[in-house]
Structure 1
């Protein structure tokens, strides 16, 4: 079986979509698939206004046809609703090839925060986009309920995971990472894109002891640095460097009100880091009543109470959330959608 994954999000972007797809590509052979990815890197592109690290592709028909013939897909998954995703959707419809999609990002809310575009318009577009698929994968039951209430159909569950070998607690007695050496504790950490929809300003405004640590980059960085000059902004970190910083901190603070999941929550837990977040979809699904985090509309209170949570409990919770289960769901959904193929809308 040959799977083509179409995504407008791919390297060099660092985000949950890319991490999820990387893991699925890695595990494809174990599920009987040869997987390839179609990304903006294969076409002429331009930077997204306000997000220069994100490229908007122009899927040239000839190049798309060539890559399609190369991949010769028996199965197609469309991960994003951008130009690459739309072009592949159109080709699938033309060839009457069943496909699946996934819903990763609350674009209607993000767009409405930046431009006078009613959320209802954006949801109408997304409903039509995903409505042609034979299944749309979502990360949580909360998001499934929300989308079904908005008229989306054929929803499938696809949870996310964490690499518990890479993201692990610090070795006892290990020195602090140089970026944190000499700073007052406790360390309250945020990891993610520095953009308005992540609500990072709410974290930076909290009256907390110790040091606020911010890992990530994005269009809102300069403004956020001006709001909190006392915070430590470390830029984008990846791999073992990122894992060591997680493990060296004391509480992970997740101020987002709009994330559909939050893989960073699992990464923090795997490193033994308790979570403080608002009680909204995403944290409610990932943390819930597990006892490895505190969900409270008073984010400061949540962050302070999280300091008392045993780190070992956080690690134990994360060990049950590896990527293997995520891959089992993902590839199972692709096979099921093909078997249950329904007439597709234009």
Structure 2
């Protein structure tokens, strides 16, 4: 099957959407799937409001339509709700092509945290975007149930994986700091709630890996913390393997690939009991508590091997299988009939 993925998130962005698409599609090749992408590469772009590090494509409906028809895909999957996603959706509705979508990012919570814009209005826009999709792929059961409660339909699970060869226990290889080392990896931005970690009175060292718009301000406010900037590949894997506990203070992530990267590296997790960690972190691999300090200290008691063993259930091969199964189900005869009927009820704009 030849699948076209339309995504506004792509290199040089470094985030969970890009990582998921790159790694899942490589694993899906084992099942005989072939992929084409429509991304912002080669297009004019403009900085995203409130987040200039992310650039959005400036393009036209005719350009996107030509790209789709030239690719001649068997199926179209829309990964993001940005300009490329909306124009791909527009084309599919115009020519009456079945498509699937995925829900990666809790934009209503992110936008509200940055601007105060009401979450319910953003969810209304997202509901309209995903309404004509033959399947809406959600990363965890909890996120899926939340979307259903908000009026999203045909929600199906699409989990994530981890490279267990790269992310593995290695011993003390990368950080020469007082122990225990509490590590957080991710975008340094307001929605990641890093202040909840940085304000804790913890023994040892607190380390932040990543970059983003809030980094300079947080470094000034919390000079005792160690901000290492962005790390990738082996350099990132070594930092994981050198820490003692992985701390995930975010309350808004849909999954958190960094959680399974940490567990695969032998790091128990400390996090709030919220969507993402609730589904991803097992009771033998971490501690979830509204008292984040108690979770951090409790996670120190978890054996590294227990975290590693729990991570083995997450593979990119299984993620690819789920993705392809969702597409096959959405393209079934009965699904096609129901989808065409829904088009009569959904605005095709």
Instruction: Pick the TM interval, shorter chain.
Output: over 0.9
Confirm whether residue 237 of structure 1 aligns to residue 225 of structure 2.
no
Residue aligning to 2:72 = 72
Alignment of 1:176-255 (within 5 A): 176-177=173-174, 180-181=175-176, 183-255=177-249
Residue aligning to 1:54 = 54
Confirm whether residue 304 of structure 1 aligns to residue 297 of structure 2.
yes
Between the aligned partners of 2:86 and 2:145, the Cα distance in structure 1 is 25
Between the aligned partners of 2:108 and 2:320, the Cα distance in structure 1 is 28
Between the aligned partners of 2:29 and 2:306, the Cα distance in structure 1 is 33
- SS of 2:183's equivalent in the other structure is strand
Between the aligned partners of 2:49 and 2:219, the Cα distance in structure 1 is 21
Residue aligning to 2:93 = 93
Between the aligned partners of 1:65 and 1:86, the Cα distance in structure 2 is 12
- SS of 1:114's equivalent in the other structure is helix
Q: Describe the superposition over 1:281-339 as per-residue Cα deviations: whole angstroms up to 9, x where unpaired.
A: 111111143x1100011100110110110001111111221111111000110111111
Gaps in structure 2 of 5+ consecutive residues:
none
Between the aligned partners of 1:264 and 1:176, the Cα distance in structure 2 is 19
Between the aligned partners of 1:238 and 1:71, the Cα distance in structure 2 is 32
Q: Describe the superposition over 1:187-244 as per-residue Cα deviations: whole angstroms up to 9, x where unpaired.
A: 1000000111100011100100111000001111111111211111011111111011
Between the aligned partners of 2:295 and 2:37, the Cα distance in structure 1 is 40
Closer/same/farther in 2, CA of residues 63 and 42 from structure 1, 3 Å limit: farther
Between the aligned partners of 1:92 and 1:42, the Cα distance in structure 2 is 22
Between the aligned partners of 2:265 and 2:39, the Cα distance in structure 1 is 31
- Assess if the C-alpha contact under 8 Å between 2:28 and 2:321 holds in 1: no
Between the aligned partners of 2:319 and 2:122, the Cα distance in structure 1 is 28
- Assess if the C-alpha contact under 8 Å between 2:44 and 2:58 holds in 1: yes
- SS of 1:40's equivalent in the other structure is coil
Report the Cα offset of residue 53 of structure 1.
2.3
Between the aligned partners of 1:23 and 1:76, the Cα distance in structure 2 is 18
Structural RMSD (CA):
1.2
Q: Describe the superposition over 1:117-142 as per-residue Cα deviations: whole angstroms up to 9, x where unpaired.
A: 21111111111100010000001111
- Assess if the C-alpha contact under 8 Å between 1:43 and 1:63 holds in 2: no
Residue aligning to 1:139 = 139
Report the Cα offset of residue 65 of structure 1.
3.3
- Assess if the C-alpha contact under 8 Å between 2:25 and 2:320 holds in 1: no
Between the aligned partners of 2:35 and 2:28, the Cα distance in structure 1 is 6
Confirm whether residue 161 of structure 1 aligns to residue 158 of structure 2.
no
Between the aligned partners of 2:126 and 2:211, the Cα distance in structure 1 is 27
Q: Describe the superposition over 1:238-284 as per-residue Cα deviations: whole angstroms up to 9, x where unpaired.
A: 11110110000000000011111111000000000000000111111
- Assess if the C-alpha contact under 8 Å between 1:101 and 1:135 holds in 2: yes
How many matched pairs? Answer: 339
Confirm whether residue 287 of structure 1 aligns to residue 281 of structure 2.
yes
Between the aligned partners of 2:149 and 2:243, the Cα distance in structure 1 is 39
- SS of 2:298's equivalent in the other structure is helix
Residue aligning to 2:308 = 315
Q: Describe the superposition over 1:14-72 as per-residue Cα deviations: whole angstroms up to 9, x where unpaired.
A: 11111110012212322232101111113211121332321111123443233223311
Between the aligned partners of 1:41 and 1:48, the Cα distance in structure 2 is 16
Q: Which of 129-138 and 69-78 deviates more?
A: 69-78
Alignment of 1:106-145 (within 5 A): 106-145=106-145
> TM-score, normalising length from structure 2?
0.94
Between the aligned partners of 2:36 and 2:230, the Cα distance in structure 1 is 27
Confirm whether residue 270 of structure 1 aligns to residue 264 of structure 2.
yes
Gaps in structure 1 of 5+ consecutive residues:
none
- Assess if the C-alpha contact under 8 Å between 1:25 and 1:36 holds in 2: no
Report the Cα offset of residue 143 of structure 1.
0.9
